[in-house]
A and B are shown apart, each in its own frame.
Chain A
Amino acid sequence: MVKRLLAWVSILLFAVFSLYPIVYVISVSLRGDNAFQTQSLEIVGPNSTLKNFVSLFTETDFLLWLKNSLIISGVTTFAGVALASCSAYALSRYRFRGRNMMLFSLLTTQMFPATMLMLPFFIILSQLHLIDSFWGLFIIYSSTALPFCIWQMKAYYDTIPRELEEAALLDGCSRWMIFTKIILPVSSPALVITALFSFMSSWSEYVIAAVVLQDPQLYTLPLGLRSFQASLATQWGLYAAGALIVSIPVLILFISISRYLVSGLTMGSVKG
């Protein structure tokens, strides 16, 4: 009984710990002009207003940023899932020269401080005339999330019994058909996770977007939000309202697929 009580207490404590910052952002977004400055802990005070949300949609380019972000994240997710699922399948099922080397080098790509790649990125992109275009971001975003996604997918494929494919091979299926008709459908948890990671990496990425996109018509949500944050006069209310709306799609995604998340993230490592 005591144990049960302790468990409840600690989980409630952590629920508060994980929710409070969000609540705080909500409360800032509801405050009027002098946004983050109050010494009261009230979430909805007497002066609360939805003004920030209204002006977010009516006075700023928020909808445009939202559209851009959706296009970029959508394409990135699609490309990321396609690339990762194909190459991970090859790494899982075939043995060839350099396979171990490739697996290890995928891991090592995570070890280099990413910010230092920015300078070379920029030089390459500007030589290819990909500055100020979504193509540059598609390429960067879908590739940077790849190493993790490939590892993830490979671990999952490893758990799928080979007998499934061998039977199909005997029946005269082509490799490609086996992959699309048999393997992909049973890998949905891992596919969902790969999609989630690709989506997240592009949805909230800021540093690279700031360098690549120079035209405000092409701004993504993080870039747009950043423009509320001048070095000397931040519009905290607008920023908080925007931050909330940016987080909501990811939150919904996470919560709705948290079931897949559990199996997709660990399946490979448990059995592999």
Chain B
Amino acid sequence: MRYYLFLLITFCSMAAQAEKLRIHVWHQMIYGHRQVLAEVLKEFEKQNPDITVQATYRETEELRSGYQSAAMGGSGPELVYGPSDQIGPFATMGIIRPLDDVLGADYFKQFDPLAAPTYNGKHFAIGDAVGNHLMLIYNKKLLSTPPKNSDELIEMGKKATIDKNGDGRVDQWGLVFNYTEPFFFAPFIPAFGEDFIKNDVQPNLNTPALANTFQFILDLRDKYKIIPKECDYETANALFKDGKAAMLINGDWSWGDYKEAKVDFGIARIPMISGTGKWPASLVGTKGYSLNVNMKSPKHQEAAVKLLMYLTSTPVQLQFAEKVGILPSNLDARDSDIVKNNPLLKISADIMEVGHPLPIVPEVRAIWDSLRIQYQKVLAGSLTPQAGAQGAQVLAEKQIAEMNEVLKPDAGAYVLKAIFALVILGGLWMSRKSLVAFIKGFQGPNRFAYYMMLPAFIGIFAVIVYPFFYNIAISFSNFSLRTFQDWSLVGFTHYVNAFSDPKFYSLFLKTVIWTVVNVFFHVTLGVFLAVIINQVMPFQGFWRALLIIPWAVPQYITALTWRAMFNQEYGPINIVLQKFLHLSPIQWLSQPTTAFAACIITNVWLGFPFMMIVALGGLQSISHSLYEAARLDGATSWQRFRHITWPLLMPVMVPAALLGSIWTFNNLNVIWLVSNSGEPGDQTHILVSYVYKAAFNLYRYGYAAAVSVIIFLILVIWGLGMLKSQYQKETK
């Protein structure tokens, strides 16, 4: 009791604290930058004693989705900080406000134009720094001068790629970078001829330039062998920091990291492509602050604007420039000695000269996504570079059309509303007796049961049933990027689209395979281990506890751990394969089949303990006399299993397997985290992860809701079928 009182008091005191004007800032600054931010905010609070600032770090994707839902719910932080490419979607959704009227038109003149991007003729953000661009970073210990062109890059790369101990494994790479991510490969496209976006909006992907770029990366990997077969950001970063890579392509944000790791590094432009004589063009962008449309009060807005002006002011920018070495966006700040005497910033400015501004329209997201999908397929060898480029264009156009689509209510909308009305009225009419009985039940002889159930069902209704119907409504609506604030019911379009899309059927098939394989292994392994523990092992409790461990570890930790274990370079799985079994390493995560297999292995690990425990319980309830009788009759151990254990276990295992398959069918965590949201090339998705991507990455809320309703219906029909057949078996 005292404990609950204590809780209550803690809550009350929490509520009482919120007296001062509190301004929230969400940002996605990396660790070193966060520390500077904390310092400058402390200074701001000193200058403005009536304001406290709450800075919250969010990972980029989460910041995006979190801010969207917060702003839609009418709340969210007063200021949001992020890369300029999120301005497009946010402005389109109407969740950040134009700054022109609060700051005045002249205010923007003090900044580099790159840091004050306009969208539809208005300013929606002010950048505190310019850059965020890619460059060649080289380890001065391994390479005295950086390569100037691609021929030199290949030559130097070959020299620097060394197998030091002669075990057939490369110990030092010529070049590393996160090359499966389109952002890191985009600079090369214009260097091969043409840019990949026309007029800031249209995808320009079906070009020889893109195909040649694909080929170039493939050659680096397969022909010249100067980059690792699999290389994500973490791996590249780690190799470079360890002095195991001579060159790296990375952005200005990473300098601090390498300084801290005491790497003696230099920076240079990404080498010119020898064949065309053009420089790769890094995308130069800004990260900046935007203002939420929802403010609690005019006072909050005033304070938020004050904070925004402070954070982009010259002194603050200089502090960032000095401590973490980023190029200020404020033109005055550029003239200061801190910037002028910084050799890195000087070269960086030279690199930026050949850069292109990062486009900020929401369409870019669809272009990146299509590029990523096709590019990863090319890398995995399932598409030729030409076919990849062609496919990317088609896909990008399709995704842009889907993203921008604003559905108009058609005849279906009226039918729908009529159906809704009929269902509600009909439901009420049909259940009027039950309803009356239900209400009367609170006075009737069963009233105890009613009161016992009421709290739980209120909870379930509020948290599951009501949101569920809300979702059904969304599935018939045009809720998407362009109708974020005012969506309406439009009809059956999303359902028609889903069912007429061949992708849906292949995803369904994959989901079924995923479920069947997983549940099969869960149940067989579970029963197998339970039988062994129950019949053979001494110290049953010990083995039981040992094998339960995978179940006890939180899923998100498991998934990320396994992802690291599957790493091509550093993952223990490949190291064991090579060292002890003398097999060649498997590129687990960059091939669609092995990536899917990796997800399955992870999920099998997660799921078998549950089935084992259930099976153990079942086994322990089977009486020993049955086995003794069988033994007397001379039954072999297989016969005993077949005729006693199995049939008596069935009633326990079937409901568990049923529930297990529902959970597996809907398991988003494992697929999403192990395959890094469906990589390579969107080929590891199952239905739920596809739905998640459609909703939260591509803004197709209506469509995603429709597919999730379909998933639900599939499971209900299947579940009913299972229950029915089970019921019939039992009553026979």
Q: B253 contacts which chain A residues (CB < 8 A)? A: 232
Contact with A along B519-556 (1 / 0, CB 8 A): 00000010011001100110001011111111111111
Q: Which of A28, A87, A233 contacts B254 (CB under 8 A)?
A: A233
A22 touches B237 (CB 8 A): no
A109–chain B nearest beta-carbon distance, Å = 5
- Whether A164 is near chain B, meaning CB under 8 Å from some CB there, is no
B487–chain A nearest beta-carbon distance, Å = 11
A11 touches B464 (CB 8 A): no
- Whether A222 is near chain B, meaning CB under 8 Å from some CB there, is yes
- Whether A144 is near chain B, meaning CB under 8 Å from some CB there, is yes
Minimal Cβ-Cβ distance residue in B for A204: B554
Chain B interface secondary structure, helix, strand, loop or mixed?
helix
Query: Which one, B56-64, B303-311, B418-426, is touching chain A?
Result: B56-64
Contact with B along A235-272 (1 / 0, CB 8 A): 11000000100110011011100110111011101110
- Whether B457 is near chain A, meaning CB under 8 Å from some CB there, is yes
A113–chain B nearest beta-carbon distance, Å = 5
Chain A interface secondary structure, helix, strand, loop or mixed?
helix
Q: B655 contacts which chain A residues (CB < 8 A)? A: 269
B449 touches A143 (CB 8 A): no
A113 touches B463 (CB 8 A): no
Contact with B along A149-184 (1 / 0, CB 8 A): 010000000000000000000000001100100000
Given A258-B541, A265-B613, A15 contacting B470 (CB threshold 8 A): no
Given A98-B438, A116-B705, A254-B551, A109 contacting B460 (CB threshold 8 A): yes
- Whether A71 is near chain B, meaning CB under 8 Å from some CB there, is yes
Q: B704 contacts which chain A residues (CB < 8 A)? A: 116
Q: B537 contacts which chain A residues (CB < 8 A)? A: 7, 11
Query: Which one, B68-76, B187-195, B283-291, is touching chain A?
Result: B68-76
Q: B72 contacts which chain A residues (CB < 8 A)? A: 122-123
Q: B312 contacts which chain A residues (CB < 8 A)? A: none
B446 touches A247 (CB 8 A): no
Minimal Cβ-Cβ distance residue in B for A108: B716
- Whether B466 is near chain A, meaning CB under 8 Å from some CB there, is yes
B708 touches A150 (CB 8 A): no
- Whether B50 is near chain A, meaning CB under 8 Å from some CB there, is no
B54 touches A110 (CB 8 A): no
Q: Which of A10, A37, A106, A271 contacts B239 (CB under 8 A)?
A: A37
A111–chain B nearest beta-carbon distance, Å = 4
Q: A117 contacts which chain B residues (CB < 8 A)? A: 463-464, 467-468, 471
B255–chain A nearest beta-carbon distance, Å = 12
Q: Which of B457, B471, B618 contacts A266 (CB under 8 A)?
A: B618
CA distance A269 to B730 in the complex (A): 13
Interface size on B, residues (CB 8 A): 129
B579 touches A41 (CB 8 A): yes
CA distance A112 to B666 in the complex (A): 8
CA distance A143 to B692 in the complex (A): 22
A247 touches B553 (CB 8 A): yes
Within 8 A of B (CB), among A17-59: 17-22, 24-25, 28, 33-34, 36-39, 41
Contact with A along B444-460 (1 / 0, CB 8 A): 00101110110111011
Highest count of chain A CB atoms <10 Å: which of B77, B466, B532: B532
CA distance A117 to B617 in the complex (A): 34
CA distance A246 to B30 in the complex (A): 24
- Whether A131 is near chain B, meaning CB under 8 Å from some CB there, is yes
- Whether B490 is near chain A, meaning CB under 8 Å from some CB there, is no
A232 touches B438 (CB 8 A): no
Minimal Cβ-Cβ distance residue in A for B692: A115
Minimal Cβ-Cβ distance residue in B for A123: B73
Q: A142 contacts which chain B residues (CB < 8 A)? A: 459
A18 touches B547 (CB 8 A): yes
Minimal Cβ-Cβ distance residue in A for B665: A111
B471 touches A120 (CB 8 A): yes
CA distance A269 to B656 in the complex (A): 9
- Whether B216 is near chain A, meaning CB under 8 Å from some CB there, is no
Q: B235 contacts which chain A residues (CB < 8 A)? A: 37
A206 touches B556 (CB 8 A): yes
Q: B73 contacts which chain A residues (CB < 8 A)? A: 122-123, 125-127, 131
- Whether B569 is near chain A, meaning CB under 8 Å from some CB there, is yes
Contact with A along B607-644 (1 / 0, CB 8 A): 00100011011101100000000000000010000000
Minimal Cβ-Cβ distance residue in B for A21: B561
Q: Which of B31, B76, B551 contacts A233 (CB under 8 A)?
A: B31
- Whether B130 is near chain A, meaning CB under 8 Å from some CB there, is no
Q: Which of A91, A143, A229 contacts B464 (CB under 8 A)?
A: A143
- Whether B246 is near chain A, meaning CB under 8 Å from some CB there, is no
B688 touches A115 (CB 8 A): yes
B69 touches A90 (CB 8 A): no
B446–chain A nearest beta-carbon distance, Å = 5
Q: Which of A119, A131, A150, A235 contacts B75 (CB under 8 A)?
A: A131
- Whether B691 is near chain A, meaning CB under 8 Å from some CB there, is yes
Minimal Cβ-Cβ distance residue in A for B544: A258
Minimal Cβ-Cβ distance residue in B for A27: B572
Q: B557 contacts which chain A residues (CB < 8 A)? A: 25, 204, 225, 243, 246-247
Q: B56 contacts which chain A residues (CB < 8 A)? A: 214-216
- Whether A66 is near chain B, meaning CB under 8 Å from some CB there, is no
Within 8 A of B (CB), among A68-107: 71, 75, 82-84, 86-87, 89-91, 93-94, 96-98, 102, 105-107
- Whether B663 is near chain A, meaning CB under 8 Å from some CB there, is yes
Q: A214 contacts which chain B residues (CB < 8 A)? A: 24, 26, 56, 66, 70, 76-77
B66 touches A210 (CB 8 A): yes
B463 touches A121 (CB 8 A): yes
B575 touches A265 (CB 8 A): no
CA distance A246 to B560 in the complex (A): 14
CA distance A232 to B529 in the complex (A): 41
Q: B463 contacts which chain A residues (CB < 8 A)? A: 117, 121, 139-140, 143-144
Given A96-B441, A116-B704, A21 contacting B605 (CB threshold 8 A): yes
Q: B453 contacts which chain A residues (CB < 8 A)? A: 86-87, 90-91, 102
CA distance A37 to B24 in the complex (A): 36
Minimal Cβ-Cβ distance residue in B for A110: B662
Question: Would you mind naming 30 contact pairs between A and B with Cβ atoms under 8 Å apart?
Answer: A34-B242, A37-B235, A41-B572, A86-B453, A87-B452, A90-B453, A98-B434, A102-B457, A109-B468, A113-B712, A119-B471, A119-B474, A120-B467, A122-B73, A123-B470, A124-B462, A143-B464, A203-B554, A204-B557, A211-B69, A214-B24, A247-B552, A251-B553, A254-B545, A254-B551, A258-B545, A258-B613, A263-B620, A265-B656, A269-B655
Q: Which residues of B contact A (CB under 8 A)?
A: 7, 10-11, 24, 26, 28, 30-31, 54, 56-57, 59-62, 66, 69-70, 72-77, 233-235, 237-239, 241-242, 253-254, 257, 261, 434, 437-438, 441, 446, 448-450, 452-453, 455-457, 459-460, 462-468, 470-471, 474, 525, 528-529, 532-533, 536-537, 541, 543-558, 561-562, 564-565, 567, 569-570, 572, 575-576, 579, 605, 609, 613-614, 616-618, 620-621, 637, 651-652, 655-656, 659, 662-663, 666, 668, 687-688, 691-692, 695, 701, 704-705, 708, 711-712, 715-716, 719
Q: Which residues of A contact B (CB under 8 A)?
A: 3-4, 7-8, 10-11, 14-15, 17-22, 24-25, 28, 33-34, 36-39, 41, 71, 75, 82-84, 86-87, 89-91, 93-94, 96-98, 102, 105-127, 131, 134, 139-140, 142-144, 146-148, 150, 175-176, 179, 203-204, 206, 210-211, 214-216, 222, 225-227, 229-236, 243, 246-247, 250-251, 253-255, 258-259, 261-263, 265-267, 269-271
12 additional contacts (CB under 8 A) given A116-B705, A117-B467, A251-B549: A17-B605, A18-B549, A36-B567, A41-B579, A102-B453, A111-B719, A116-B708, A206-B556, A231-B28, A231-B60, A232-B253, A261-B548
